[in-house]
Amino acid sequence: MLKIYKIGGGIIDNQVELSDFLHLFSQEKSPKILVHGGGKGASKLLQQLGIEPKMVDGRRITDQETLNVVTGLYAGNINKSIVAQLQKFNINALGLSGADANCITATKRPVHTIDYGFVGDLDEKSVDAARLQSFIESNLTPVLCAITHDKKGNLYNTNADTIASQVAIALSKFYQVELNFCFDKVGVLRDINDDSSLISSINNKEYQQLKADKIIFEGMIPKLDNAFEVIAAGVKQVNLVHALNIHTETKTVLC
């Protein structure tokens, strides 16, 4: 079983929790991959540099100046800090952007009503699964950031959930894959303010009913829609789990 973990803003922004998560991650005995986003650090750094962050519906507009900053932060400071911490925990980690070893190629998001700038979209051919498999078989642990490329010399800011999903799908040709979306809730909740209302497992039929009943709504819907697409594409299991609960049964299992 190959286990893929994706971490995002909440955990990236908290250095104590990030260190605790990485320690837990290092204890996972199965082959593994870590995919990380950038947290709120990009907006902070942009403001410090006098560049106004631009967001539309929670998605970053990435002009050239912004791309320069997020590339340095995601592929540089955050990625290498994670790799260094994993080395401390005796995990031989390999920090990668999509451009490194041509792991992940993207296409520039087309302009419809909004020009997102240097934002990359992925498809089923984007991930070089054989290359990632070669790293894993060499006892390396890939740590992938949210920067991709197009083989034409351009870098792109790319959604980390999308990267984790496409990597999981691509590698399901070689392994049974478990994909873990790690965030700051214990899983999918019937009541967002009550951790004891955890839904421990959901299949697609149950999910459609929970959406219709408006028990699951707003921000969770894109994440869960994506997760069920991943399962339909051949990934064995997808979990939504608190980043500090990855070795417990407290999670939502999608099947």
Annotated binding site: 38-39, 60, 157
Phi/psi class of residue 210: alpha, beta or left (left: φ > 0; alpha: ψ in -120 to 50)?
alpha
The answer to whether 239 and 253 are in contact (CB under 8 A) is: yes
Provide the edge-to-edge strand list for the sheet that holds 93-96.
Answer: 93-96, 141-144, 32-36, 2-7, 177-183, 237-242, 252-254, 201-202
Annotated binding site for substrate: 38-39, 60, 157
Among residues 69, 73, 50, 53, which one has the least CA distance to residue 61?
53
Q: How far apart are CA 141 and CA 146, in angstroms?
A: 16
Among residues 32, 54, 56, which one has the least CA distance to residue 43?
54
The 3-class SS string of 52-114 reads CCCEECCEECECHHHHHHHHHHHHHHHHHHHHHHHHHCCCCEEEECCCHHHCEECEECCCCCC
Quick one: which H or E segment has residue 187?
none
Give Cα 253 to chain centroid, integer Å: 17
Q: Number of helices and strands (H, E) in the chain?
A: 9, 14
